[in-house]
Structures are given as structure tokens and as C-alpha cells.
A and B are shown apart, each in its own frame.
Chain A
Amino acid sequence: EVQLLESGGGLVQPGGSLRLSCAASGFTFSTNAMGWVRQAPGKGLEWVSTINGDRTYYTDSRFTISRDNSKNTLFLQMNGLRAEDTAIYYCVKEGDLGYFDLWGRGTLVTVSS
């Protein structure tokens, strides 16, 4: 079955760090661009980061995207977290040119003291 399964979300204090993981299955992970999209409670979708080959793209330098092709796993390291980073973080597989054709169920990150 083609799927993405995120983990690593949770409650973190402001200024803290968190590492999200996304386990991919059912497709050739290593040849696909992958990314993260987030959605704050009751708000719209926001692109966070993309990794395509050895190139990475971000909206925010506090975040670092990486991947382990041997384990079919995508990561998002988030540092210096703020209350406004509270959101569901979705792992996404990108289509040929940057649209998102497969979404995980998401993992909730809550930044609060």
C-alpha cells in the first residue's frame, strides 16, 4: 500500500526542538521529491520544506529537512520553536514538478509552556 506515516509530534516548550519522521512505503522513495506542509488549527495550508535530490528548500531557516533513502524515511528537524509553529505537520510526496500527490495523516506539534 502506498502510504506515508508521520511520527515525532507532541508538546514542546517555546524555544525547544523537535524532530519529525515520516516512513514511506509502496513507492520508490529515493527517486521522489518529498516535503512537509503544515496547517495551524483552523487555518489554511502552508508549505514548509522540500527535498529534491540533494537540494533543499525552506520557508524558515530554523527547520532542516533530510532523508535516509536506505530506510525510506524523511525527517524535519525543528529548532527554536514558537507558539505560531503549532500545527499539524503533513509529510507529502511531490509529483513531477512540485504539487503534492500523496499526503500522510499528519502529526500534531504543539508549542506551549
Chain B
Amino acid sequence: DIQVTQSPSSLSASVGDRVTITCRASRDIRTYLAWYQQKPGKVPKLLICAASTLQSGVPSRFSGSGSGTDFALTISSLQPEDVATYYCQKYDDAPLAFGGGTKVEIK
């Protein structure tokens, strides 16, 4: 089965900072990668699919990149409302799999 590894597991940054979270698949998954945001106590929300396609209503400071085995989620200017745990998910084939999550906090 393909494994998905996220890094870092947590980060602390200042408001306005550029933040990057990476996700690595153990084999080529082309662009079959999604990103989710889960705010504390809330339900996960889809941010990006197909590695870089932003969902409607998601702020443009979020962007996704990558293909094959290496992917990234970037927040261009971190805002207080971005405090959350972010997950990547591969969906090229079953079994579907999530990364372990990255907890983003404000410094």
C-alpha cells in the first residue's frame, strides 16, 4: 500500500508569515492528492483537490503544488483564522490514505 508522510507534524509562525507543509507519497500518485483543514472541534473541510485545484470559497492565500511523490500546501500570509490541523490525502486508488496531519499555530 502507498504511504503518505506529512511534515512537519506541527509548526508555529507569525501572522503574515509564509507557511509550507509538505506531503510525500511512497510511490507515484500523479496529482491524486487533496488537502483538508480541520479547525479545533470542527469537521474537516476540503481545501484543494487534484494537488492544486482550490475549492470554491477557499481564500486565495492557500495554494497547492506538486505531482508524483512530492506535494506542498502553502499559506502565503498566515492569518489567525488559519489555526488548524491540515491533512493531505492520496486518492489514486484504494486504500485511500491520509497523512498524519500538521498542526499550525500562531507564534
Contacts and interface: CB of A to CB of B under 8 A. Distances in A.
Interface of A: 35, 37, 44-47, 50, 57, 59, 90, 95, 97-101, 103-106
Contacts of B62: none
12 contacts: A44-B99, A44-B100, A45-B38, A50-B94, A57-B94, A57-B96, A90-B43, A95-B46, A97-B91, A99-B49, A100-B89, A106-B43
Contacts of A95: 46, 49
B43 A47 contact: no
B62 to A, nearest CB: 15
Interface of B: 32, 34, 36, 38, 43-46, 49, 55, 85, 87, 89, 91-92, 94-101
Given A44-B87, A45-B101, A47-B96, A98 B32 contact: yes
Nearest to A88: B43
B91 A99 contact: yes
B14 to A, nearest CB: 26
A44 B38 CA distance: 10
Contacts of B94: 50, 57
